[in-house]
Amino acid sequence: KIIKFKGQNLPPSPPQLPFLGNLHQLGALPHQSFTKLSKKYGHVMLFKYGRIPFVIINSAEAAKEVLKVHDIDSCSRAQLTGTGKLSYNFVDIAFAPYGDYWRQIRKICVLELFSLKRAQSFRFIREEEVGLLVNSISQSASSGTPVDLSEKIYALTGSIVFRMAFGQIFRGSGLDNHQFEKLVRATESVMGGFTTEECIPYVGWIIDRLNGYHAKLEKTFRDLDAFFQKAIDDHLKPERAMEDQEDIIDVMLKIGKDQTKSGEAQITHDNIKAVLMNIFLGGVDTSSITVIWSMAELARNPRLMKKAQDEVRNCVGKQGRVTEDDLDQLPYVKMIIKETLRLHPPAPLLLARESISHFKVDGYDINPKTLIQVNVWAIGRDPKYWKNPEEFYPERFMDSSIDYKGQNFEFLPFGSGRRVCPGIYLGIRTSELALANLLYCFDWKLPKGMKEEDINMEEGVGVSLNLSKKTALNLVPLNYVP
């Protein structure tokens, strides 16, 4: 039973089953189930995942109350088995509960790792890796065969984050980014959600043992830890100092060393590993999903594709590649990325927050230790805020001040408030640069016999719980000669 204190007005709940609570109503795509249920139960709903109380927010007004008015009351995270293990007992940013530790690490990372200056220092990595992607697609373009864009784009964002984090050290050492990609996938699958025991005590413990969850979690942790440790050890070798380009491990080791000198709280190796884990889980899939959905939407809509290509080609001329200097002259490309994030937010329910103290939303009581999810997918498609919401129409952002930085509550792909994504600039830059180059360098045709309306736009929630396109996007590239 949901605990209700005397006189409280709790949000409405759909009927619950014993032990399971509302688990049976979530379906494979919970954000869609919540959207349907909110038509009946309202914009603020209370659910139970087994024994865990969950509030789902489905309107911009209620989202503002949670993320802005009551940001401080609601900005913690639940301490779960999977996230605890892989975050070295919550010494990361994304899963650390609210408190002094989180404030400190978030501040350090925002100033040192996610600053504009740092993000710009990685510009050459983004440009080089996008160049390699274009070269590899060019080969298919000369043979007229379809390319699996989903796979190529995931490999691109994976390589970019890999090089930002580790530098070049693994090149040729046998430990490469493709091997690491597999490890990231395995991590995502055990990180995902709750263990059965967290939802259903006692019985759940047996289920977790039988299905091997704990063994898989331990193995993934060991593999990931060994990889990170090797990367750190390599960075500590004296010859490393010769390399001029600082990567994320260099920066964090340096902060740790400076702090030891000044006697402040230290950044330990566990901190570094936990933050690296966040950067991989937060940065790879999200950016690649954005580019894949953008390309799928444009392939379905040749008018928009042509308009975008004209913009990029007119701006870039015969230069051969789009560089980051060009991006500010590409307003339509920017609008396409925004429109993609409105219809296909990679994290449709953000990352669950946990309430710290009691507060009210829309007149309903929210008790401490309640998990809160904001359904930004539903809000981005709500006709109350968006005209023809189901239509992919980038022009809606023309002459509009609405952006994704967390101040417009009808559009929150990166969240808002204290926990807002610190990687916005990195994610957007990577997505815009990749998309602009795909539009500039190639014309895109559908595989033989396929029509625009045949492109499968179904959503799938992959192992990472991010909202991806269910099936791979295959398109035929033709080389464009400027």
Spell out the residues 6+ positions from residue 153 whose beta carbon is closer than 8 angstroms to its own. Answer: 133, 288, 291, 292, 295, 434
Q: d(Cα 315, Cα 322) in Å, to the nearest integer? A: 9
Is 421 annotated as ligand-binding? yes
Candidate list 154, 427, 433, 438; residue touching ligand HEM; CB under 6 A: 427
Candidate list 35, 76, 286, 375; residue touching ligand HEM; CB under 6 A: 286
Candidate list 347, 465, 473, 476; residue touching ligand HEM; CB under 6 A: 347
Alpha helices of 263-419 — where are they, by DSSP H? 269-300, 302-316, 331-343, 376-380
282 part of the interface to ligand HEM, by CB under 6 A: yes
Residues 99-138 that bind ligand HEM (CB under 6 A): 106
CB of 422 to ligand HEM, least distance (A): 5
Binding part of the chain for ligand HEM, among 6-14, 37-45, 251-259, 424-432 by CB under 6 A, reads: 424-432
Provide the 3-class DSSP secondary structure of residue 416.
coil
Closest CB to ligand HEM among 213 and 377?
377
Task: Report DSSP letters for 162-186, one per residue.
Answer: HHHHHTTTTTTSS--HHHHHHHHHH
Exposure b/e, 130-140, CB count within 10 A at least 16 = b: beebbeebeeb
∠ CA 19-23-25 to the nearest 5 degrees?
130
Number of residues in contact with ligand HEM, rule: CB under 6 A?
25
CB of 290 to ligand HEM, least distance (A): 5
Q: d(Cα 38, Cα 378) in Å, to the nearest integer? A: 10
Q: d(Cα 164, Cα 176) in Å, to the nearest integer? A: 14
CB of 372 to ligand HEM, least distance (A): 10
461 part of the interface to ligand HEM, by CB under 6 A: no
220 part of the interface to ligand HEM, by CB under 6 A: no
Task: Report DSSP letters for 350-372, one per residue.
Answer: -SPEE--S-EEETTEEE-TT-EE
CB contact at 8 A, 346 and 466: yes
Continuous segment of H or E residues that includes residue 233 = helix 213-236
Closest CB to ligand HEM among 122 and 364?
122
Residues 361-420 that bind ligand HEM (CB under 6 A): 413-415, 419-420
Candidate list 276, 327, 336, 350; residue touching ligand HEM; CB under 6 A: 350
CB of 64 to ligand HEM, least distance (A): 13
* Positions that interact with ligand HEM (CB under 6 A): 93-94, 106, 278-279, 282-283, 286-287, 290, 346-347, 350-351, 413-415, 419-423, 426-427, 431
